[in-house]
Amino acid sequence: MATLFGIPLAALSGQLLLGLINGAFYAILSLGLALIFGMLNIINFAHGAQFMMGAFVAWLSLTYLGLGYWWALLLAPLVVGIVGIIIERTMLCRLYKLDHLYGLLFTFGISLLIEGFFRQLYGVSGMPYAVPEILTGGLDLGILYAPIYRLWVVAASVVVCIGVWLAVDKTRLGAYLRAATENPTLVRTFGINVPVLITLTYGIGVALAGFAGVLAAPIYSVNPLMGSNLIIVVFAVVVIGGMGSILGSVVTGFGLGILEGLTKVIYPEASSTVIFLVMAFVLLVKPAGLFGKETGGAAQADNGHARSERGNLKTLGIPLAVLLAVFAVAPFAVYPIFLMKALCFAMFACAFNLMIGYGGLLSFGHAAFFGMASYISAYTAKQWGFNPELSILAAALVSGGLGAAIGGLAIRRQGIYFSMITLALAQMVYFFCLQAPFTNGEDGIQSVPRGHLFGLIDLSSDMTMYYFVLAMFALVYLAIVRIVHSPFGRVLSAVKGNEPRAVSLGYEANRYKFMLFVFSATLAGVAGATKALALQLASLTDVFWSMSGEVVLMSLIGGLGTLLGPVVGAFFITGLQNYLAQFGAWVTIIQGLVFIICVLVFRRGIVGEIQGWSSDLMKRSGKLNAGASHGESKLSTPPA
Amino acid sequence: MPDTSDLLVISDLHGHYGESHVLHGMNLSVRAGEVVTLLGRNGAGKTSTLRAIIGILGQREGSIRVSGTETIRLPSERIARLGIALCPEERGIFSSLTVAENLRLPPRLKAGGYTDEEVYGLFPRLLERASSQGTKLSGGEQQMLAIARIIRTGANILLLDEPTEGLAPVIVKQIAEVILSLKQRGFTILLVEQNFRFAAKVADRHYVVEHGKVVDEVAASDVTRRMPEIQAYLGV
Ligand SMILES: Nc1ncnc2c1ncn2[C@@H]1O[C@H](COP(=O)(O)OP(=O)(O)OP(=O)(O)O)[C@@H](O)[C@H]1O
Ligand SMILES: [Mg+2]
């Protein structure tokens, strides 16, 4: 048998073909993302869900309408595109003037909604979709036997990619698109209807995802989760390529697919993480990406996502005391296990919120710290017999270290790139946890002993454990308050308010952000570790991307950038989950809806809204007073 | 008083950028075939007036009538289709488009625009550089391109924002010739200028803008007589 460097050529070329196929999907999806980003300035998180939707349209139209593969290739992009256009026209278009992060959050909500919807209807087991008759069988290419369908997928996607590139680069509509990407306002003054162009772009971008979904249907089974993991890899691809050029994203997509295929032959364990590693490397040597132009994305001045910290200063000491008092008596009324869980998530959300509220950076990867810490404390407590305080300390140190590694890479980019990078790196941590033996894979670490605090206090009763968790919460909360009010916190506020100015004053903005990130990761670790002990379980759920999404949601609904908001949000979401637990995928659907509603109409969150109202009231009464005194002073002026 | 031959009539125009109020009741009108300038110091509100006319100033109130149609509530693309086009102060050449693509970008709105041959006849440099990247052109060439692309669409009202800014005297002279030939062809032009010598050469009338308001109007025939006043307005 022919070999190359001791690897059978057949295996090598077989994996290369598989890699090429993955590359084809990366290319089509990142192409769509780049198109949409160019026009809308939004990272379409729903892209994976729309890809899945394409596959489902194919399956549904075959099952219920008897329409085969070729019809599906036409129908799916159309359906997905039209749904996309409706979403854009009714909701997405309201977000263009806001911080880009809201677009990310909104489309994340959409993706949860779509995914939850299909999961509710069709479960997660996946439905087979047959290869169309004329594409069955294979070709013997000498060194390998290649299934015709796979060759078709590669050919079809190459044609589509080149087609899109030609359309954008050579046609009149393409010229409109490129011009509007650069300067939409000026393009409008020429009589070109840019809003329609934007809608069309979104429609076409997601239609491409739908098309890829149909191509994928016969290869992977049709299942509601097929898009969400893929999209994270595609984010990494986009970060690697940079979104500057169409051809760049296509080349990067195919290239990385092939690289992944090669890795599968040479070192299979790394095949699921190799793209993330490449991303880390590219961030180190060329942060803007291989084909990227740094579009001055640094420090967007619009920071609508965070309330001013000053508003919170006043409302700070009292709530904590009241909060602790309420929590102290709560377990007599509410199930302590639930309370512990909610408190752990409250800690987690507070830690996450530190990053967005004071660093202006939205991390979509905080599950990595929470989950990793949860494994470490569970493992050290169970296998090494660490006391709770020791296992939490160990976990916090590990997650702090992890935070240093991830933060060091991620803060090289700003805004949505930061979010995508943290998400991708966290996915790498997830794959590590999936494969590393100490985590027990799918089973997780169960029956974690709660142990004796300082070797003295037995935490095995829920009540005692509850008060320990409450103490941890108070500790974390106070630590955050301390940071926010330290000189360090004030510098951070300055950096966040106006980064260029802070930099010109001599602050190294990135160093401060890095320190903040490590701190936030450490506290997220404390939360995860405490959770593992309290619920006696560490599992893959803790480290999965959906956990990162949940913590974002908690902070968003409570009020991004408020101190108390994450606590409120954590209780709200944990309660919701508890209540909806028996309804399966409804949890996801509702979470998606909450995301969407929050972003559209409730951006300040519960606590933010309340603070807003009260400060409005204060302002109004202040104005009245001012008016009154003004009037008085006028009255008392002696007549001339 | 505006009469029926007025193509563009602005009355009591107010404009804002977010919180800041920059136009405070502009009044002006331009007759068909006229070249009219807006003169004024930096920050007087000249650019903002042009942006308001074409509909890209965030907030505007008052009245702007283009060929008799009220445009104060129309979106920019609808206003443009009434036959009005802007050559912006920063020129706005697209870097991801070639020179030829930049030139052909604005769609034809009406009959009567320059044909491609006429455009290239007026600006031969653009033909030579047709396939290079738009922003690779020199400043003067970019200015030519910015003018060229709006005269072929059939728009009959041109808003030119400081077309001579930062350009060498020979180029300024060429641009003056271009504007005169546009005038001869019947275009109506509202020109913002800091270079008064240039403005005096091409314009029929001048409006003086101060603090977001028209404070004076000078006919071309009065320019020599009122020179000291004008110099005082412009602070030269
Ligand atoms: N994007 C903006 N946001 C806020 N204020 C602005 C903006 N653009 C201009 N201004 C303000 O509006 C006022 C009028 O500006 P405008 O650009 O219309 O002046 P101009 O007469 O064209 O000046 P110049 O001769 O310097 O071009 C100025 O005070 C300016 O500071
Ligand atoms: Mg100006």
The per-residue pLDDT for range A51-63, each reduced to its tens digit, is 999 999 999 999 9
Q: Residue A203: its pLDDT value, please? A: 96
In which band, very low, low, confident or very high, does the pLDDT at B56 lie, cut at 50, 70 and 90? Answer: very high
Mutate to test the pocket of ligand 1, among B22, B51, B159, B161 (most ligand atoms within 8 A of CB): B22
Looking at residue A207, its pLDDT comes to 97
Asked if pLDDT for residue B109 goes beyond 70, the answer is yes
CB contact, 8 Å: A182 with chain B?
yes
The partner residue sitting opposite A191, judged by closest CB among B77, B94, B95, is B77
- Chain A to chain B Cβ contacts (< 8 Å): 59
B15 ligand 1 Cβ < 6 A: no
Q: What is the pLDDT of residues A82-138, one digit of tens each?
A: 999 999 999 998 888 888 888 888 999 999 999 999 998 888 888 888 888 888 887
**What residues of chain B lie within 8 A of the CB of A189, using their CB?**
54-56, 76-77, 80, 85-86
d(CA B116, nearest CA chain A) in Å: 16
pLDDT at A623: 55
* Residues A457, A463, A467, A470, CA torsion sign: positive
Confidence bin at A309 (pLDDT 50/70/90) = very low
- What HEC string does A364-410 produce? CCCHHHHHHHHHHHHHHHHCCCCCHHHHHHHHHHHHHHHHHHHHHHH
Question: Which of A226, A254, A285 represents a domain boundary (last residue)?
Answer: A285
pLDDT tier, A617 (very low <50, low <70, confident <90, very high otherwise): confident
Say if residue A47's pLDDT is above 80: yes
* Domain with A220 in it: 3-285
Residue A301 binned pLDDT confidence (cut-offs 50, 70, 90): very low
Q: Is A278 in the same domain as A143?
A: yes
pLDDT band at A632 (very low <50, low <70, confident <90, very high): very low
CB B20 near ligand 1, within 6 Å: yes
CB contact under 8 A, B96 and A185: no
A310 pLDDT band, cuts 50/70/90, is: very low
Q: Between β-strands A457-458 and B35-39, what pairing exists: parallel, antiparallel or unpaired?
A: unpaired
* Among chain A residues, CA nearest to B149: A190
- Is residue A33 domain-shared with residue A107, that is, in the same domain? yes
Report the residue from B76, B104, B107 with minimal CB separation from A188.
B76
Indicate the angle between helix axes A565-580 and A336-359, nearest 10 degrees.
140
Average pLDDT over residues A353-367: 87
Q: Over 60: is that where the pLDDT of A624 sits?
A: no
| pLDDT value at residue A294 | 55
Q: Tell whether A636 is covered by a domain.
A: no
Q: Do residues A249 and A238 make contact, with C-beta atoms less than 8 angstroms apart?
A: yes
Evaluated on CA atoms B60, B64, B70, B71, the torsion sign reads negative
Domains and CATH numbers, chain B: 1-83+194-236 (3.40.50.300)
| Cβ-contact A165, A291 below 8 angstroms | no
Tell me what the mean pLDDT of segment A196-201 comes to: 94
Domain identity same for A459 and A579: yes
Q: Return the pLDDT at A607.
A: 84
Q: Which of A186, A187, A247, A295 to mutate to test the interface with B (most CBs of B within 10 A)?
A: A186
Q: In this predicted structure, what is the pLDDT of residue A316?
A: 53
Q: Is the CB of B45 under 6 A from ligand 1?
A: yes
Q: Which atom of ligand 1 is nearest to the CA of B209?
A: 21
DSSP A446: -
- CB–CB of B94 and A178 under 8 A? yes
Q: Do A191 and B75 touch (CB under 8 A)?
A: no
In this predicted structure, the answer to whether residue A501 has a pLDDT above a threshold of 80 is no
Q: Model confidence at A400, in pLDDT bands (50, 70, 90)? A: very high
Closest residue CA from atom 12 of ligand 1? B22
Inter-chain residue contact A190 with B101, CB threshold 8 Å: no
> What is the percent of chain A where pLDDT is above 90?
37
Q: What is the ipTM of this complex?
A: 0.94
At residue B2 the predicted structure's pLDDT band, cuts being 50, 70 and 90, is very low
Tell me: do A157 and A13 sit in the same domain.
yes
- Asked if A183 has any chain B CB less than 8 Å from its own CB, the reply is yes
Enumerate the residues of chain B whose CB falls inside 8 A of the CB of residue A176: 105
In terms of domains, do A184 and A242 share one? Answer: yes
Segment A449-459 mean pLDDT: 76
Neighbours of A505 (CB within 10 A): 11
Domain contains A329: no
Minimal CA separation from A639 to chain B, in Å: 34
Give pLDDT, residue A453. 74
**Same domain? A402 vs A277:** no
Q: Please state the domain count of chain A.
A: 2
**Distance from residue B46's CA to the centre of ligand 1 (Å):** 8
Do residues A603 and A533 both lie within one domain? yes
Over 90: is that where the pLDDT of A236 sits? Answer: no
Q: How does the average pLDDT of chain B come out, rounded? A: 91
Instruction: Specify whether A394 is located in the same domain as A468.
Output: yes
Chain B residues in contact with A168 by the CB 8 A cut-off are none
Contact B94 A179 (CB under 8 A): yes
Does A101 share its domain with A43?
yes
Q: Is the pLDDT of residue A393 over 80?
A: yes
Q: Do B96 and A179 touch (CB under 8 A)?
A: yes
With CB atoms and an 8 Å threshold, state whether B106 touches A181.
no
B71 touches chain A (CB under 8 A): no
CB of residue B42 inside a 6 A radius of ligand 1: yes
**B82 CB-near residues (< 8 Å, 6+ apart):** B66, B67, B69, B71
- Rounded to whole angstroms, the Cα distance separating A611 from A205 reads 39
Determine which residue's CA is closest to atom 14 belonging to ligand 1: B45
SS3 A230: helix
- Per-residue pLDDT band for A232 (boundaries 50, 70, 90) equals confident
Q: Tell me whether residue A446 is in a domain.
A: yes
Q: Spell out which residues of chain B touch residue A194, defining contact as CB-CB under 8 Å.
A: 77
| B106–A185 CB contact, under 8 Å | no
C-beta atoms of B104 and A185 within 8 A: no
Kindly state whether residue A625 falls inside one of the protein's structural domains: no
Instruction: Return the closest-CA partner of residue A425 out of A412, A437, A438.
Output: A412
Exposed/middle/buried for residue A178 (C-beta within 10 Å: 0-12, 13-18, 19+): buried
Interval A537-558 mean pLDDT: 89
Residue B1 above 60 pLDDT? no
Which band of pLDDT confidence, cut at 50, 70 and 90, is reported for residue A445?
A: confident
Distance CA(A104)–CA(A93), nearest Å, equals: 13
**CATH number for the domain including A350?**
1.10.3470
Q: Is residue A309 part of a domain?
A: no
- The two tokens of residue A22 are 């993955």
Whether residue B81 and residue A172 make contact (CB cut-off 8 A), yes or no, is: no
Is A265 inside a domain boundary?
Answer: yes
Instruction: State which residue of chain B sits closest to A190, comparing Cα positions.
Output: B106
Strands (E) across A394-516 are located at 452-453, 457-458
Please identify, by atom number, the ligand 1 atom nearest to the C-alpha of residue B162: 27
Mean pLDDT of A149-157: 92
Instruction: Indicate whether A109 and A244 sit together in one domain.
Output: yes
User: Could you tell me if A20 and A144 lie in one domain?
Assistant: yes
Is the CB of A63 inside 8 Å of chain B's CB atoms? Answer: no
Q: Is the CB of B47 under 6 A from ligand 1?
A: yes
**B216 lies within 8 A of chain A by CB:** no
Q: Which of B81, B89, B96, B150 to mutate to test the interface with A (most CBs of A within 10 A)?
A: B96
Per-residue model confidence (pLDDT) at position A317: 55
Say whether residue A186 is in contact with chain B using an 8 A CB cutoff: yes
What pLDDT is stored for residue B13 in this prediction?
A: 95
Mark out the alpha helices in A5-147 (DSSP H runs): 9-40, 47-65, 69-90, 100-122
B95 CB within 8 Å of a chain A CB: yes
Residue, of A197 and A304, whose pLDDT is higher:
A197
Q: How far apart are CA A143 and CA A148, in angstroms?
A: 15
The DSSP secondary structure of A79-111, one letter per residue, reads HHHHHHHHHHHHTGGGSTTS-HHHHHHHHHHHH
A151 and A274 together in one domain: yes
A220: its two tokens: 């992977």
A453: buried, middle or exposed (CB in 10 Å: 19+, 13-18, 0-12)? middle
Mean pLDDT to the nearest integer, B142-161: 94
Q: Is A527 left (phi over 0), alpha (psi -120 to 50) or beta?
A: alpha
